[in-house]
A and B are shown apart, each in its own frame.
Chain A
Amino acid sequence: MARPSMAVAETQPSSPRDSVTRERVVVAGLGRAGLEYACAFAMHPGAEVVGFVEPRGDLRRFARGIGFGVPTESSLGRWLDRRSCDSVIVAAPADQSVVMVERAVKAGLGVLVHGLAAMPAEKAVRIQAILSASDRATAAGAAVMFQPTFARARRSGALSADRVSQVRASAMVSRVFSPLAAPERDVLDFLLADMLLLLDAAFGPVAAVKASGQKLYGEWFDECQVDARFANGLSTKIEASWSVPGYPCAAMVIEGSGPEGRVIVSDDALEMDMPGLQGRVVAASEPSPVRFDGGDGSAVAEGYLKALAGDALALDALSASRATRVARVLEAVRHSIQADGAEREVAS
């Protein structure tokens, strides 16, 4: 049964922290993302990390060595056979995620899946099908959905199909030059997935794509260009590259224009020139969505706890069905690239 989460804790300021009922969280998958979630939930007054699940022994030892002394098992099944919790945060590779999500839903737990949009479409669809059978909170985490300027643009209505008729989007970052770049990732799942999440949240589902891609430095895609047609008839050009020097953080930009005026939103700032929507908002001036800054996991963790408390914006930002749609768009983009830019419908 769901426990009262952060919202309850915050409405009872006189209660000592330890007596407040907190969301008991198990983090499944102790890679970089999993540990970020562990830190974020551990530092949140509305949550408590009660366990870890990780098949790899070196990662389990590492988490223990850092100082997390919670019970740890090699599988979620083993953990749940012996203990109880309220939510499972799945931050594992796609294959493992399917099994973990299945087990968590079967146990009637809340589930947050990390990186669903960038998973292979077949796996994402399976996970979404399992999640949709749950009567508990289910969510797909992506930090980009909590980026303050994009969130403000969505809230204000400036970035919506009602106000703009022409859209361009670009996403750039410097990664391919890193010795850490490895062939198992490319610019599509590393970067384009995040941009597609933002576009879906603003303009709705993509219905079809025409795409081209370039492999500049190896066997993986370093750049891509996508013509996306939305279900509502809007179309957009999207460029994504991880081969641009000088960008340690991803630079995401969406430009929209229409009869009412124009809007430019990036992770730096939001600029609006429309009736009733004027001015420039810089990212630093927006309120922080977190109270502990521990990387990408912090905003998602905060959002998940808000979603459990019924916050509509957080629920929307963590939509698992949107993440699954994006995984399908990525699959269509790959098919289109293979077909020399021929249009490919997005499976529904």
Chain B
Amino acid sequence: MKRVKPEVPRLLLGVSSLDQPVRTTRDRQLEVASRFKEPESLAVALVKGVAAGAQGVIAPPTLDVREALAELKKDLPLFARVLHTSPAEDLRWEPVFLSDPGEESSASPRNGKRSGRSSRNLLPLSMAGDLASRVLPRMEREVALFNAKAIRGIAVAAVATDLALAANQAKFLERVVRFAHHRHWLVGFETRNLGHLLARLKPWELSPDFVMGPVNPRGVGMMPDAARVLAEIQSSSVKVIASELRAGGLVPIEDGATYARHHGAWGVCAELVDMDDVPKELKGLAPLVAA
């Protein structure tokens, strides 16, 4: 039977803010982390969020997220935020993707069977040439930590996207797109430099299913600047999922979503840290982002 690639969602629920640095106050981040400390409370927020209109959940393969998903009796539509890195990487001297933490322990119970096979079929990372060769086995292993039936696609973390962007490495994005499409997944690239990335995608002649980056009325996190980001969104054929809708807490989430859609974003990603009442606020966003 021919598999149909899913539609790029208009409304996503993001849970990366639970363990990644985000643009918000320290008190707010601690409060949200505390609220979703138990897997059950996170599970409830996720399932209610999807029921309220989120068409997918963007989630890193952390233990907290997987424990929450394991609490649920049904699969939620997942976009795996892959190439997960810890903020504690700054303890290392070496660059973040120099070594693969799973390479030596691919047979550990933490890793799925698929990851073990893929690792054995590839050269050691120390021999791998380009960035894609280094990280694709890791990406596959991280996706395999989720239930395969739940996976709708992948969102490549900004730390990898922006590295390839700065090195002008179109080949990385090209290979990741091929890798994901071969598995019938949607593929998106998260970036902290949306204007720069959209501008590069044109000469690179690449069209991932979506890119995701900050868009909000205060221009917070919009690189190189708000005007350039908006111009690139307008002129690009690539679908943009707007993130950081609340501009670090400066505007209500509805204003952020309305602004992003008005300026050409295909959809929005609402992060847990940006909402007090997840289902209620997602329900409020659903009509704002409808096609």
Determine if chain A interacts with chain B.
yes
- Chain A nearest CB, measured from B273 CB (Å): 12
Which size class do A's interface residues fall under? 35 or more
CB contacts (< 8 Å) of B162 on chain A: these are 39, 293-294
- Chain B nearest CB, measured from A34 CB (Å): 8
- For the complex of A and B, 6 pairs with smallest distance between CB atoms: A284-B248, A67-B169, A67-B167, A39-B166, A178-B88, A291-B224
Q: Output the nearest chain A residue to B192 by Cβ-Cβ distance.
A: A293
Would you mind naming 13 contact pairs between A and B with Cβ atoms under 8 Å apart? A32-B90, A66-B163, A67-B168, A180-B92, A246-B29, A247-B26, A269-B25, A284-B220, A285-B218, A291-B224, A292-B166, A294-B192, A294-B193
Tell me whether B104 is interfacial, beta carbon within 8 Å: no
When chains A and B are docked, how far (Å) is the Cα of A288 from the Cα of B130? Answer: 32
Asked, given contacts A268-B26, A284-B23, whether A175 binds B88 with beta carbons under 8 Å apart, the answer is: yes
Tell me whether B52 is interfacial, beta carbon within 8 Å: no
When chains A and B are docked, how far (Å) is the Cα of A181 from the Cα of B88? Answer: 8
CB contacts (< 8 Å) of A267 on chain B: these are 26
When chains A and B are docked, how far (Å) is the Cα of A268 from the Cα of B29? Answer: 11
- Chain A nearest CB, measured from B48 CB (Å): 25
Contact of B225 with A291 in the complex, beta carbons under 8 Å: yes
17 further interface pairs, Cβ-Cβ under 8 Å (given A59-B95, A180-B92)? A35-B95, A38-B166, A42-B167, A180-B86, A180-B88, A180-B89, A180-B91, A182-B91, A248-B20, A268-B26, A284-B248, A284-B250, A292-B166, A292-B193, A292-B223, A293-B223, A294-B166
- Chain B nearest CB, measured from A186 CB (Å): 11
Chain A residues with a Cβ under 8 A of chain B:
30-32, 35, 38-40, 42-43, 58-59, 62, 65-68, 93, 174-175, 178, 180-182, 185, 190, 246-249, 251, 266-269, 282-285, 288, 290-294
When chains A and B are docked, how far (Å) is the Cα of A268 from the Cα of B28? Answer: 11
Tell me whether B196 is interfacial, beta carbon within 8 Å: yes
Q: Which of B25, B88, B93, B223 contacts A268, CB < 8 Å?
A: B25
When chains A and B are docked, how far (Å) is the Cα of A261 from the Cα of B58? Answer: 46
When chains A and B are docked, how far (Å) is the Cα of A11 from the Cα of B164? Answer: 29
Q: Which of B96, B133, B167 contacts A32, CB < 8 Å?
A: B96
Q: Which of B33, B94, B247, B249 contacts A246, CB < 8 Å?
A: B33
Contact of B193 with A32 in the complex, beta carbons under 8 Å: no
Q: Output the nearest chain B residue to A40 by Cβ-Cβ distance.
A: B166
Contact of A58 with B168 in the complex, beta carbons under 8 Å: no
Contact of A65 with B193 in the complex, beta carbons under 8 Å: no
CB contacts (< 8 Å) of B249 on chain A: these are 282, 284
When chains A and B are docked, how far (Å) is the Cα of A162 from the Cα of B247? Answer: 35
Which size class do B's interface residues fall under? 35 or more
- Chain B nearest CB, measured from A194 CB (Å): 12
Q: Output the nearest chain A residue to B98 by Cβ-Cβ distance.
A: A62
Contact of B94 with A248 in the complex, beta carbons under 8 Å: no
Q: Is the interface of A mostly helix, strand, loop or mixed?
A: loop
CB contacts (< 8 Å) of A282 on chain B: these are 25, 248-250
CB contacts (< 8 Å) of B247 on chain A: these are 284
Chain B 152-186, CB-CB to A under 8 Å as 1, else 0, gives: 00000000001111111101100000000000000
When chains A and B are docked, how far (Å) is the Cα of A266 from the Cα of B21? Answer: 16
Tell me whether B72 is interfacial, beta carbon within 8 Å: no
Contact of B164 with A67 in the complex, beta carbons under 8 Å: yes
Q: Output the nearest chain B residue to A247 by Cβ-Cβ distance.
A: B26
CB contacts (< 8 Å) of A285 on chain B: these are 218, 248, 250
Contact of B26 with A251 in the complex, beta carbons under 8 Å: yes
CB contacts (< 8 Å) of A181 on chain B: these are 88, 91
When chains A and B are docked, how far (Å) is the Cα of A248 from the Cα of B85? Answer: 12
When chains A and B are docked, how far (Å) is the Cα of A38 from the Cα of B162? Answer: 12
When chains A and B are docked, how far (Å) is the Cα of A85 from the Cα of B280? Answer: 57
When chains A and B are docked, how far (Å) is the Cα of A40 from the Cα of B87? Answer: 19
Contact of A59 with B94 in the complex, beta carbons under 8 Å: yes
Q: Output the nearest chain A residue to B129 by Cβ-Cβ distance.
A: A65
When chains A and B are docked, how far (Å) is the Cα of A68 from the Cα of B169? Answer: 8
Tell me whether B134 is interfacial, beta carbon within 8 Å: yes
Tell me whether B150 is interfacial, beta carbon within 8 Å: no
Contact of B250 with A66 in the complex, beta carbons under 8 Å: no
- Chain B nearest CB, measured from A252 CB (Å): 10
When chains A and B are docked, how far (Å) is the Cα of A67 from the Cα of B133? Answer: 12
Contact of B30 with A246 in the complex, beta carbons under 8 Å: yes
Asked, given contacts A67-B131, A268-B25, whether A248 binds B167 with beta carbons under 8 Å apart, the answer is: no
Contact of B166 with A32 in the complex, beta carbons under 8 Å: no
CB contacts (< 8 Å) of A248 on chain B: these are 19-21, 29, 87
Q: Which B23-42 residues sit within 8 Å CB-CB of chain A?
A: 23, 25-27, 29-30, 33-34
Contact of B224 with A292 in the complex, beta carbons under 8 Å: yes
CB contacts (< 8 Å) of B220 on chain A: these are 284, 288
- Chain A nearest CB, measured from B54 CB (Å): 24
Q: Output the nearest chain B residue to A253 by Cβ-Cβ distance.
A: B26
Tell me whether B126 is interfacial, beta carbon within 8 Å: yes
